[in-house]
A and B are shown apart, each in its own frame.
Chain A
Amino acid sequence: MASMTRRKTVNAVMMTLSTGAAALGLFVLAVILLYLLYKGASALNLAVFTQDTPSPMEPGGLRNAILGSVIMSAIAVAIGTPIGILAGTYMAEYGRYAKLSKVIRFVNDILLSAPSIIVGLFVYQVLVVSLGHFSALAGSVALAILVIPIVVRTTEDMLRLVPDQLREAGLAMGWPRWVVIRTVAYKAAMAGIVTGVLLAIARISGETAPLLFTALSNNFFSLDLTQPMASLPITIFQFALSPYDNWQALAWAGALLITVAVLALSIVARLVTSKKEKH
């Protein structure tokens, strides 16, 4: 056996390295966030919210992009949440012991971490090629495909945490199962499911790759779902790679907006669950 001093030295070295790793990691991430805050905040003003994306070297803002992101995310959540909750309900309730549930759990976990650009390619082939043009609707569907697996996962996990005694009590009242699920199981699992939906919104609000060739982008204000629509991530992508100072500044402003939105959503999602736990 190695001598005591040697073991102590190895221990000291390795533990210092691990503390160093933590310091390095947090330092790098802090540098990124602080720089983002600095660049984003200096580019942020009222015009960012009230004016549309400008031509190069002209004043303007991100109104159409912000609105586009909100609209497409909203539609994506409207499509993805019901499907996700119902599928999660099948896996935790009706089909709890079915072979199909196992298959779907596997498939769902693959979808959960599959590259989002692949989802973009899929929706391009299904909705853009067939309709003949890029559209906000295609972008929303692409985002919905990212929402579904997150909601499925949290719904199933949360429903499984609901004690079976509660369900049995409901069934003993003579209620059909769907009433038990709705009034007992959903109620008990509500906070968790809401958290899942919030995390899903946080995830899609920064997604760029699936929108590149579905919603494309639009330099003008548009509410038409059958036409290309601007979104924050795509605008950031285009403006950041441009040589124009004002476009680059807007890209930073947009990046800050997305980061703040994502962090706020994640924090609210945490509060929803932790509040529930205290009761």
Chain B
Amino acid sequence: MTATSDYDSGVKSTRPVAQSDRIFGSLTLAAAVVVLLVLLGVFASLVLGAWPAFKEYGLSFLWTAKWNPVTDKFGALAPLYGTVVTSIIAMVIAVPVGLGIAIFLTETCPRVLRRPLGIAIELLAGIPSIIYGIWGLFVFAPFMQSYIQPFLIDTLGHVPVIGTLFAGPPYGIGMLTAGLILAMMILPFIASLARDIFQTVPPMLRESAYGMGMTRWEVNRHIVIPHVRTALVGGIMLSLGRALGETMAVTFVIGNAHRISGSILAPGTTISAAIANEFTEATTPIYTSSLIALGLVLFILTFIVLAAAQWMLKRMKQKSGA
């Protein structure tokens, strides 16, 4: 309840409610319930569709690496592994670069360029993922195959321990390529989110820090980032949610191989890529059900990540509101 107004403060009004109001009020309530039902419906339909698969394979579906449509043996481990690995690669690259862009836009960037560059980043965040996918397939994968991957194999491939990560022939497509495309796709998203979050820091706080003689980096490192830490983590989780569920940017360049390879240069698959590629080709009911079970796993995974993200972003809103 706000202090300035008692409008609809929950106090029972003595005013008779107009009949027309009751109708419109219930109409809006019904629409709101639809939103709720959609989410419940998504969950229920996935559970229902995944039921045959879980009945057949039990919970071991989650840690079985086999995926064989010929013998009808299915397990989620390979796509789950691919989803996690590509998302980690994407986050490791996109988070620091995105934060760098955000710091640049709020600190170093000449004032005249701030607005246009900020708008450009926001517009780029809206580019559909299929665009990144098609560019990845025709331009980036061949580039990786001819230049980056041979270089990685020749250098890092010979280093003990991490060498296995970069073993094998340069396919072009594969988990590293998919992770990099994913990074490019979520980069504008992270950058514009982080910039918005940085701008919530009160100018007074920055100015006091500068007044103390702190350098730009110190102000950002010790004042700005700690001040918005929770929201920043929330924003990063939100981007992680995107990366985990992204379909089109990945499907083009992942290679669609149901196998777990120690090398990040090898082809793999992700949950969403597996569903996108195989769903219309699934011939047996148990095959379809296994793909829906994959969808359920992805849904639960992103639900947890997104719920945590919301909780963190909300905490910051409450803090700045108080």
A pairs with B: yes
Residues on A lying within 8 angstroms of B by beta carbon are: 7-8, 10-11, 14-15, 17-22, 24-26, 28-29, 32, 35-36, 39, 82-87, 89-91, 93-97, 100-101, 103-104, 106-111, 113-119, 121-122, 124-126, 145, 148-149, 152, 164-165, 167-168, 176-178, 181, 199, 202-203, 205-209, 212-213, 216, 233, 236-237, 240-241, 248, 251-252, 255, 258-259, 262-263, 266-267, 270
- Contacts of B20 on A, CB cut-off 8 Å? 176, 178
- Contacts of B303 on A, CB cut-off 8 Å? 110, 114
Chain A residue nearest in CB terms to B8? A96
Given contacts A104-B32, A148-B35, A267-B123, contact A126 B45 (CB under 8 A): yes
- Contacts of A203 on B, CB cut-off 8 Å? 126
Could you tell me which residues of chain B, from 127 to 143, have a CB within 8 Å of some CB in chain A? 127-135, 137-139
B295 interfacial contact with A, CB 8 Å: yes
Q: Mark B1-24, 1 if CB is under 8 A from A, else 0.
A: 110110111100000011011011
Option from A18, A83, A101, A267 in Cβ contact (under 8 Å) with B108: A18
Given contacts A115-B247, A258-B130, contact A15 B107 (CB under 8 A): yes
- Contacts of B10 on A, CB cut-off 8 Å? 97
Chain A residue nearest in CB terms to B29? A90
Nearest CB of chain B from residue A3's CB, rounded to whole Å: 12
Q: Give the complex CA separation of A170 and B192 in angstroms.
A: 39
**Interface stretch of the complex, out of B65-73, B148-156, B159-167, B212-220:** B212-220
Q: Give the complex CA separation of A251 and B303 in angstroms.
A: 33
B299 interfacial contact with A, CB 8 Å: yes
- Contacts of B247 on A, CB cut-off 8 Å? 115-117, 208-209
Are the C-beta atoms of A14 and B217 separated by less than 8 Å?
A: yes
Are the C-beta atoms of B245 and A94 separated by less than 8 Å?
A: no
Nearest CB of chain A from residue B308's CB, rounded to whole Å: 11
Q: Give the complex CA separation of A116 and B25 in angstroms.
A: 31
- Contacts of A240 on B, CB cut-off 8 Å? 133-134, 137-138, 252
B318 interfacial contact with A, CB 8 Å: no
Given contacts A22-B100, A114-B302, contact A121 B184 (CB under 8 A): no
Nearest CB of chain B from residue A95's CB, rounded to whole Å: 7
Option from A14, A164, A199, A209 in Cβ contact (under 8 Å) with B248: A209
- Contacts of B246 on A, CB cut-off 8 Å? 115
Q: Give the complex CA separation of A164 and B9 in angstroms.
A: 11
In the complex, how many residues of chain B place their beta carbon closer than 8 angstroms to a beta carbon of chain A? Answer: 96
Chain B residue nearest in CB terms to A115? B245
Are the C-beta atoms of B39 and A237 separated by less than 8 Å?
A: no
Are the C-beta atoms of A165 and B280 separated by less than 8 Å?
A: no
B312 interfacial contact with A, CB 8 Å: no
Q: Give the complex CA separation of A218 and B177 in angstroms.
A: 31
Option from A7, A25, A148, A164 in Cβ contact (under 8 Å) with B215: A7
Secondary structure dominating the interface of B: helix
B104 interfacial contact with A, CB 8 Å: yes
Q: Give the complex CA separation of A104 and B245 in angstroms.
A: 22
Are the C-beta atoms of B5 and A168 separated by less than 8 Å?
A: yes
Are the C-beta atoms of B218 and A164 separated by less than 8 Å?
A: no
B92 interfacial contact with A, CB 8 Å: no
Q: Give the complex CA separation of A151 and B74 in angstroms.
A: 39
Are the C-beta atoms of A233 and B134 separated by less than 8 Å?
A: no
Nearest CB of chain A from residue B43's CB, rounded to whole Å: 9
Are the C-beta atoms of B104 and A21 separated by less than 8 Å?
A: yes
- Contacts of A181 on B, CB cut-off 8 Å? 24
A-B contacts, 25 listed (Cβ < 8 Å): A7-B218, A21-B99, A21-B104, A22-B105, A36-B131, A90-B25, A95-B32, A104-B32, A104-B36, A108-B35, A114-B299, A116-B245, A118-B302, A148-B35, A176-B20, A178-B21, A202-B126, A208-B128, A213-B280, A237-B251, A259-B131, A262-B128, A266-B122, A266-B123, A266-B126
B101 interfacial contact with A, CB 8 Å: yes
14 other A-B residue contacts (CB within 8 Å) besides A117-B272, A177-B21: A36-B135, A87-B31, A90-B32, A96-B8, A97-B9, A100-B32, A126-B45, A145-B38, A164-B5, A213-B280, A255-B131, A255-B134, A258-B131, A259-B128
Are the C-beta atoms of A216 and B280 separated by less than 8 Å?
A: yes
- Contacts of A19 on B, CB cut-off 8 Å? 100, 104, 108
- Contacts of B131 on A, CB cut-off 8 Å? 32, 36, 206, 255, 258-259
Given contacts A29-B184, A36-B131, contact A21 B5 (CB under 8 A): no
Chain A residue nearest in CB terms to B132? A32
Nearest CB of chain A from residue B195's CB, rounded to whole Å: 11
Nearest CB of chain A from residue B95's CB, rounded to whole Å: 11
Are the C-beta atoms of B25 and A94 separated by less than 8 Å?
A: yes
Q: Give the complex CA separation of A148 and B42 in angstroms.
A: 14
Could you tell me which residues of chain B, from 294 to 318, have a CB within 8 Å of some CB in chain A? 295, 298-299, 302-303, 306-307, 310
Nearest CB of chain A from residue B272's CB, rounded to whole Å: 5
Are the C-beta atoms of B138 and A109 separated by less than 8 Å?
A: no
B205 interfacial contact with A, CB 8 Å: no
Nearest CB of chain B from residue A258's CB, rounded to whole Å: 6
Option from B36, B124, B133, B238 in Cβ contact (under 8 Å) with A29: B124
Q: Give the complex CA separation of A86 and B244 in angstroms.
A: 31
B41 interfacial contact with A, CB 8 Å: yes
- Contacts of B138 on A, CB cut-off 8 Å? 39, 240, 248
Q: Give the complex CA separation of A167 and B6 in angstroms.
A: 11
